[in-house]
């Protein structure tokens, strides 16, 4: 079992709709959770971080965390063509040091 799992996609969503991206993790000791966006040929860039159960909203993005279910998700409202990218879920298994593990990413395509 991979430590961090994501559906590889591609996920195709019409412009203006809500895109929903999901991630599960295996280590119950994980403490910090991140969503990165990566455009083709570029470095990952952080778009959301979440540390406690519940929802966290930032503009069109909402991250949701459920530690009991070991599940973290990202919602993108009013999807735009510029949101087309690969979205990477990352988990920090912080104990004595930050060991950050990534999922394989979900490719999101916003169709006009």
Q: Which residues bind another protein (CB under 8 A)?
A: 3, 6, 8, 32, 34, 43-46, 49, 51, 88, 90, 92, 94, 96-105
8 or 12: CB nearest another protein:
8
5 or 60: CB nearest another protein:
5
82, containing H or E segment = none
Q: CB under 8 Å to 42, separation ≥6 — which residues? A: none
Place of tokens 């040091």: 97
20 or 49: CB nearest another protein:
49
Q: How far is the CB of 101 from another protein (least distance, A)?
A: 6
Q: How far is the CB of 16 from another protein (least distance, A)?
A: 28
Q: How far is the CB of 8 from another protein (least distance, A)?
A: 6
76 or 90: CB nearest another protein:
90
Q: Smallest Cα–Cα separation from 13: which of 87, 68, 98, 102?
A: 87
Kindly tell me the sign of the dihedral angle through the C-alpha atoms of 20, 46, 8, 52. Answer: negative
Q: How far, in Å, CA of 14 to CA of 3, rounded?
A: 31
């Amino acid at each position: 079992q991979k430590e961090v799992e994501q559906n590889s996609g591609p996920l195709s969503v019409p412009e203006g709709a809500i895109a929903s991206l999901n991630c599960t993790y295996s280590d119950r000791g994980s403490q910090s959770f991140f969503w990165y966006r990566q455009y083709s040929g570029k470095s990952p860039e952080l778009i959301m971080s979440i540390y406690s159960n519940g929802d966290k909203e930032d503009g069109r993005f909402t991250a949701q965390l459920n530690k009991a279910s070991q599940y973290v998700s990202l919602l993108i409202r009013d999807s735009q063509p510029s949101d087309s990218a690969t979205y990477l879920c990352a988990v920090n298994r912080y104990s004595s040091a930050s060991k950050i593990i990534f999922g394989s990413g979900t490719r999101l395509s916003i169709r006009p």
